[in-house]
Amino acid sequence: MARTRPFTFIAAILFALMAAAHLYRLAVGFDISVATSAVPMWISWIALVVTASLSAMLFREARS
């Protein structure tokens, strides 16, 4: 019998939403600045890979 892991599932959804936000930024191309420094687009590529990977792993963990 499979156990339910609601907190793991919620974390997976949050990481999926963050990955979607980075993908949206890459698709639309809007700029982000922190104080007076612009955040380059390549950071969103890295963040997209990391958050999507974490989301996939957490979804897999939540199912087991």
Per-residue pLDDT tens for 47-62? 999 999 999 999 999 8
Q: What is the dihedral of CA 26, 29, 42, 49, to 10 degrees?
A: -10
Give the pLDDT band of residue 2 (cuts 50, 70, 90): low
Angle at Cα 55 formed by Cα 42 and Cα 45, nearest 5°? 5
With a cut of 80, say whether residue 3 has pLDDT above it.
Answer: no
Residue 52 and residue 20 in contact, taking contact as beta carbons nearer than 8 Å: no
% residues pLDDT > 70 (the chain): 95
Pairing of strands 32-34, 37-39: antiparallel
Q: What are the residue ranges spanned by the domains of the chain?
A: 6-63
Mean per-residue pLDDT over the chain, rounded: 92
What is the enclosing helix (H) or strand (E) of 7?
A: helix 6-28
45 vs 63, higher pLDDT: 45
